[in-house]
Structure 1
C-alpha cells in the first residue's frame, strides 16, 4: 500500500476543510479525487504530502509523509510559480538538480509536449505550456508516487488529452498516481478508482463503472426544449418516466423508444431543439450523491478518495 489515510480532519478557524476522510491507494493505481473548488481536494493533498498538519492517521510508503524521501515522490501543487526568467529547459534542469538521479530535461520536455519551446523563457510561455512545464518538474526524478493537484487546469482540450496519454503511460509503467481534478471526463478516463469529495467529506468511492452503476441512474433521452413543463406533462401522460436531471429534461428510455417519444412530443405540439440519448456518467454520479452541480462553463473558462 502506498497511501493510507484514516479519519483525516483539518479546520481553518470555523471552516471545516476535511471531515473524517479515509481511503487507501495501492501500488500502481491511479486514484482520482474529484470535486469542485472548495471541496477539500488541495487540503487533502497537502495533508498527504506533509505540507500541512491534519488530525487523523496518514501514511505514505508505510511511514509519516514528512519522512518520505524526495527521490520517491513527484509533486505538482495547484499553485506553482517558478522563476519566469528561466527557460523551460533550465527550469526542468534546476529541479532535476535537486535529486541524486534525474532524467534528461529534454526527454522530460518531449514527454509533456513542450520540447519545441525548450529555450523559451517561462514568463513568455502560454498558460498551457507553463502548466506542462510544471508537470515536467514533477516527473524529472522519475518518481514512484506522482501527486498531481489539478494537472490539466489551463491546458486546452487537445493538450489535456495528450497529458492524459502521458499519465496513462506512467501508470502502465508502474508509477502510482494520485490526482485531483474537477474534470469528470478526466477522472473517468484515467482513474482506477475515484473518490468524490464534497464539503470536506468523501461521499463516494469506487471504480468509475461502480460509481456510475450505483449512483448514475438510468440511461436517458435528453430533450432540449424551451418549455420543459409542457414537455414533461405530455411525456408523463403518455406513461414515460421523467427523470430528476437538474441540467435538462430527461426521459428514462432506451434508444429503441426514441421514435415513440418523438411522436408523443409532436402530437402534443411541443417544440424542441435537440434530442440526445446518453448513458449516465460521473457528473450524474456527482449530482446524485452531492446534490451540487459541477459548473462546466466555469471549468472551461479556467482552461484559456472509502
Structure 2
C-alpha cells in the first residue's frame, strides 16, 4: 500500500532563512507520526507544505496519492496551532458550524463529549479557557471523520487530565485506520502516541524511527546517580563507568536489579552517600541530544527501526 503522506526533498526559504532543507518522509495509512523539534526548526512550515497551505520552493509533496491541492478535502482534517474560529459561538455551535461543511458529518454533541467537553455549555468560545478552546477545536477538526488528520501542537494549554483524554481520542482514531500527523513539544505525548517519531532540527529531518529505537540508539545508557562528595576514583572497583554530574556521581550502565549490589559495594568501600536514584533514558534525552548536536546522527542511520 502506498504511503498517504509523502515529502520528497522538500525545501522552503523565507528570504535568507532556510526553513526546510531537503526534508523527505513517508507516512503510512493508519500510522501516528509525531514531528518533534525546537521552536523555529521548521515543523509548522513542513505541516503547511504537506497540507497545501504553503508551496515548497523545491521538492515534491503527495497527500492521499495526489498533490495537496488536489487531495479530497472531505478526507482530511487539519488543526493548525494558530487556528482562530468564530469567537461568538458556543462549543456546540462552533462544531456544528464546521460539521455543516460536510455531507456526512459526525454528531457535534458526540464529538464534544469525546474530547471531554459538555455540549450543553452556553459559554462563547472567546470566554472558554485555553484548554477548553483547544479541545473544542480538536472536536471541530474531527467533524468529517477524516482519513488523514494533521494536528499542530494539539494539547497546548490543556491540563494533564485533559491531555490524556485527547491522547485516548487520537489512539482510538489510529485504531480505526485514521492516519495522524502531529507536531508536539511534549515528549511524553510523542512517546505514547507515535508509531514513529521524526526529529526536525535547523530545517533538516535529523532522525526518524520508533520511540523505542530512537531511545536505544541515541538516548544514552541507564545510570545510578549517587549523591556523594566522593571522587569518581573511589568507585573504580564497581566495574562500571563512573563520572561526576553536578552533586552526584553517575554509575553508568547499572541495571535496576543491580542497584542493591552497588549500594552494598559502596558501603563496603566506606563511600558515604545521601541518596541513590536510578534513571533510564527516554525520548526527552534523545530530543535534547540530537537537537543540540544533529551531527551525532550518521547520514546512513537517519531511519532507525526497532
Where in structure 2 are the equivalents of 1:88-127 lying within 5 Å?
Answer: 88-115=91-118, 118-127=121-130
In 1, Cα distance between equivalents of 2:272 and 2:19:
46
Residue-by-residue CA offset, 1:48-96 (whole Å, 9 max, x unaligned): 0011121211000111111112201000001112222110011101111
Change (3 A) 1:171 1:216: same
- Report if the CA contact (8 A) 2:91-2:119 is conserved: no
Question: In 2, Cα distance between the equivalents of 1:292 and 1:261?
Answer: 33
Counterparts in 2 of 1:238 and 1:187: CA distance versus 1, 3 Å: same
Deviation at 1:250, TM superposition (A): 3.3
Match of 1:147, SS state, is strand
Structure 1 equivalent of residue 63 of structure 2:
60
Q: Which runs of 5+ in 2 are unaligned?
A: 295-301
Q: Residues of 2 paired with 1:98 and 1:247: CA distance?
A: 59
User: Which residue does 2:240 correspond to in 1?
Assistant: 240
Deviation at 1:259, TM superposition (A): 3.2
Q: Distance in 1 between matches of 2:150 and 2:247?
A: 32
Question: SS at 2:278's partner residue?
Answer: strand
- Checking the alignment, whether the CA contact within 8 Å between 2:19 and 2:42 is kept in structure 1 is yes
| Partner Cα distance (2:244, 2:51) in 1 | 39
Aligned to 1:276: 277
**Contact 1:109 / 1:115 at 8 angstroms: preserved in 2?**
yes
- 1:150 is the counterpart of 2:158: no
Q: C-alpha separation between the residues in 2 aligned to 1:77 and 1:192?
A: 21
> Scaled by the length of structure 1, what TM-score is found?
0.86
**CA distances 1:245-293 after superposition (whole Å, capped 9, x unpaired):** 8998532211233234445666666554x43323221112223333369
- What residue in structure 1 maps to residue 260 of structure 2? 259
Distance (whole Å) between structure 2 residues aligned to residue 58 and residue 248 of structure 1: 49
Contact 2:228/2:249 (CA < 8 Å) preserved in 1?
no
Answer yes or no: is 1:140 the counterpart of 2:165: no
2:209 aligns with one of 206, 209, 214: 206
Match of 2:298?
Answer: none
* TM-score normalised over the length of structure 2: 0.86
In the alignment, the residues of structure 2 paired with residue 116 and residue 222 of structure 1 have an alpha-carbon distance, to the nearest angstrom, of: 49
Superposition map of 1:25-36 within 5 A: 25-36=27-38
Give the gaps of 5 or more residues in structure 1. 294-304
Q: Name the SS of the counterpart of 2:69 in structure 1.
A: helix
In structure 2, what is the equivalent of residue 174 of structure 1?
Answer: 177
- Count of matched residue positions in the alignment of Structure 1 and Structure 2: 291
Distance in 2 (alpha carbons) for counterparts of 1:249 and 1:197: 32
